[in-house]
Structure 1
Amino acid sequence: MNEFSLIEHYFNRLARDDGVVLAVGDDAAILRPSAGCELLVSVDMLVSGRHFFPEVDPRALGHKTLAVNLSDMAAMGGRARWATLAVAWPQLDSPWIAAFAEGLFALAAHHQVDLIGGDTTRGPLTLSVQIMGEVPAGQALRRDGAQPGDEIWVSGQLGLAAAALQHRLGTLSLPEPVRALCQQQLDWPQPRLALGQALRGLASAALDVSDGLLADLGHLLQRSGVAGEVWAGQLPSHPWLCAQGLATLPCLAAGGDDYELCFTAPPRHHAAIAALAAPLGLPLSCIGRIVPGQGCRLLDTQGQPIILEREGYDHFA
């Protein structure tokens, strides 16, 4: 099998989207965005040994490779439409590649995303997806709109993926079935696209939590020119992790790999945001507030600062 037969056999699927004029097989795809929409484009890279263990289930890896990019679309309030995939393979292992493609295309079908091109070569296992989507003009969620007085919200549960990693590394011992649930979150993250679209017109700023809540929220605060106070006791997670207190707080506040949405909104939208939880089947928690100043403070129940050793994942540490 060579590069072209690999692409044709595993990754050339008939496009479902009528906005795809030309997909896999030419030097570039031809796309037709919807009228009245702005184009969203993002790219993420996953490297073996850096972002995932080499022995990971290839179906789960295919899912996650696309999921982390869909999460960026969710953070912008967008509808994901198209993706390209670039992969360096150490070797052409047909069963492994077939399972990887199965995981990727299952998630793509669920969110109606077409794979429209990409590239392959030989090298250390490296996976990169460029995701493209769209949002009605002027309605994208951005990082630069938070204002003093806004509430800080987060979706889902924090810290599960980080706890699974710490269990794997031997620094945290998780009981069953907590370990299984945490491992599921690490391997099969669910991008919050429906939530992102529902937040258009409600959220003042948003991003996804990939490198850790405090680190990612810090980027939003910097772009908006404000400060934030996060209430440690309000961080949502699995009851077992919450019960461990300071022992697992770094997982919740700075662990990363959550792929939940963190967003800000004026208090007048509190009830409307809370009402989204039931139809989406997704917990939404108010965890802090925006204040004047700079930086992000993690506070205990007495309002005193909690200092963690780190606030999130550093890709170059």
Structure 2
Amino acid sequence: MAGPGEFELIREYFASHFQTGAQPAGKPVARGNAAQSSVELGIGDDCALLVPPAGKLLATSVDTLVADVHFPAAADPYRIASRSLRVNLSDLAAMNAEPLWFTLALTLPESNAEWLEPFARGLADTARLFGITLVGGDTTKGPLSITIQVTGACERPLRRDGAGSGDHIYVSNKLGAAAAGLPIVLSDLEPSAEQRQQAEDAYYFPEPQFSVARAIGPYASAALDISDGLLADLGHICSASNLGAQLDLDRFPIAELAAAMDAETALETALTGGDDYQLCFTVPDEHLSAVQQLKLPISAVGRMRSVPGIHCQLNGQTWQPRLTGYRHF
């Protein structure tokens, strides 16, 4: 039997989840209903009509996730939806922007209710958790891919181009869990139950670092989220700020899954594996004490410097990883 057509699909699986501010049972809500109240006209017309918050900048970002490139095509659709929205939300967190709206362009090989129902539910649950609402999009037939554009509002954006020579480099939490866990997610390894849970949480449910971004907003000189690996992404701050960096790796924050590897592989995975969706940010000397007093889950990992390039130092010696980060092409 044929699945629902385009407009029935939108109405049944997406519009129904985003017409009211009702919350799913047992789901915490990170913010109020600012996103819902700023929608003059949402799903169903040629365009959405949205009311920008007064006196704030709008931050917008778009990412495309392709089956068997950015997620396993055979994975649970609920988890695919969660990952797809969370990795986009991470861009808003990196800019210190509060989530408002998103659009979805969904390309499907077929209109399959058994796939669409958990996907739509995962998308709606994740959206409500982070206080963002779907306002439109498109569906079409083809190889499975998911494109999401997110929009948020910010008063004090964190950009890549504000770092200064001598600024301290920080990362949030620990790095390497998703990259170390990918073979587990792909069923290439037989892990313990605890390791499987850690791998799946890191890969399908990365936590956009909104709370860290809000706290460091008054003090950070530059920031971005770590999606392609710290070395690659720190390189973007260096390029935008016309600087280089030195990383001191003796006490680098390595996630438990990665730390189970041999020492060199663990460090390389944490530096270059990607899919962390943590923040990397820089702090000038004059704000260092204030940031240290915030008691955040962050680690100082180096300093910006005027000499181009990223120099890694381990045990007082220059250390060169074999890889530099994820490459899209």
TM-score, normalised with respect to structure 1? 0.92
Change (3 A) 1:71 1:253: same
**C-alpha separation between the residues in 2 aligned to 1:240 and 1:87?**
32
Compare 5-14 and 190-199 and name the one that shifted more. 190-199
Shift of 1:4: 0.3
1:274 CA displacement: 3.1
Identify the match of residue 14 of structure 2 among 4, 11, 21: 11
1:12-71 deviation line (CA, Å, top 9, x unaligned): 121542111111011111111111101111000100011111111211111111101110
- Residue range with higher mean Cα deviation, 80-89 or 184-193: 184-193
Say whether residues 1:192 and 2:209 are aligned partners: yes
Give distance in 2, aligned partners of 1:8 and 1:277. 45
Range with greater deviation from structure 2 (101-110 or 70-79): 101-110
Q: Alignment partner of 2:127: what SS? A: helix
* Separation (CA, whole Å) in 2 of partners of 1:222 and 1:3: 43
Deviation at residue 166 of structure 1 after TM alignment: 3.8
- Aligned position for 1:264: 282
1:156-175 equivalent positions in 2, closer than 5 A: 156-167=173-184
Moved more, 176-185 or 223-232: 176-185
Q: Out of 167, 182, 193, which is 1:150 matched to?
A: 167
Deviates more, 1:141-150 or 1:51-60: 51-60
2:198–2:257 CA contact under 8 A, matched in 1: no
CA contact (8 A) 1:158 1:236 kept: yes
- Does 2:311 align with 1:297? yes
Query: Which residue of 237, 240, 257 corresponds with 2:254?
Result: 237
1:75-124 CA-partner distances (Å, limit 9, x unpaired): 00111100000010011121211111111111110111110000000110
- The residue identity in structure 2 corresponding to 1:196 is A
Q: Does 1:276 align with 2:276?
A: no
Moved more, 202-211 or 94-103: 94-103
Question: Which of 196, 214, 218 is equivalent to 1:201?
Answer: 218
Q: CA shift at 1:170, angstroms?
A: 8.3
In 2, Cα distance between equivalents of 1:99 and 1:197: 32
Partner-residue secondary structure (3-state), 1:74: helix
Q: Is the 8 A contact 2:162 2:221 kept in 1?
A: yes
Are the equivalent residues in 1 in contact too, given 2:65–2:147 (CA < 8 A)?
Answer: yes
> Partner letter of residue 311 of structure 1?
T
Deviations 1:183-214 (A, max 9, x none): 32011111111221222111000000001110
Structure 1: distance between partners of 2:65 and 2:9? 20
SS at 1:248's partner residue? Answer: helix
Question: What CA distance in whole angstroms lies between the structure 1 residues aligned with 2:195 and 2:214?
Answer: 31
- Which residue number in structure 1 is paired with residue 120 of structure 2? 101
| Aligned-partner SS, 2:318 | coil
SS at match of 1:270: helix
Question: Structure 2 stretches of 5 or more lacking a match?
Answer: 22-35
Assess if the C-alpha contact under 8 Å between 1:77 and 1:198 holds in 2: no
Could you tell me which residue of structure 2 aligns to residue 226 of structure 1? 243
SS of the equivalent of 2:207 reads coil
- Unaligned stretches of 5+ residues in structure 1: none
- Flag the 1:219–1:108 CA change in 2: closer, same or farther, 3 A: same
Q: From the superposition, tell whether residues 240 and 47 of structure 1 become closer, same or farther in structure 2 (CA, over 3 Å).
A: closer
In structure 2, how many angstroms separate the alpha carbons of the residues matched to 1:193 and 1:154?
A: 14
Q: CA deviation at 1:174?
A: 5.5
8 Å Cα contact 2:181-2:257 kept in structure 1: no
Which of residues 69, 78, 91 in structure 2 aligns to 1:72?
A: 91
Secondary structure of the corresponding residue to residue 124 of structure 1: coil
Partners in 2 of 1:52 and 1:192 — Cα distance? 21
- Given that 1:160 and 1:183 are in contact with CA atoms closer than 8 Å, whether structure 2 keeps it comes out as no
Q: Are positions 1:285 and 2:299 aligned together?
A: yes
* Structure 2 CA distance for aligned equivalents of residues 15 and 213 of structure 1: 39
Partner residue of 1:59? 78
Q: 1:15·1:115 contact (CA, 8 Å) conserved in 2?
A: no
CA distance in structure 2 between the partners assigned to 1:174 and 1:232 by the alignment: 28
Q: Distance in 2 between matches of 1:121 and 1:169?
A: 27
> Alpha-carbon deviations, 1:141-182, whole Å to 9, x = none?
000001111110001110000001144568888555234312
Task: Give the equivalent residue in structure 2 for 1:177.
Answer: 194
Q: SS of the residue aligned with 1:229?
A: strand
Could you say which residue in structure 2 is the equivalent of 1:313?
326
| Residue identity (%) | 40
- State whether residues 72 and 186 of structure 2, in contact with CA within 8 Å, keep that contact through their aligned partners in structure 1: no
1:308 shift after superposition? 1.6
Aligned-pair RMSD on alpha carbons?
1.8
CA distance in 1, matches of 2:169, 2:191: 29
Q: CA deviation at 1:230?
A: 1.2
User: Number of residues paired by the alignment?
Assistant: 309
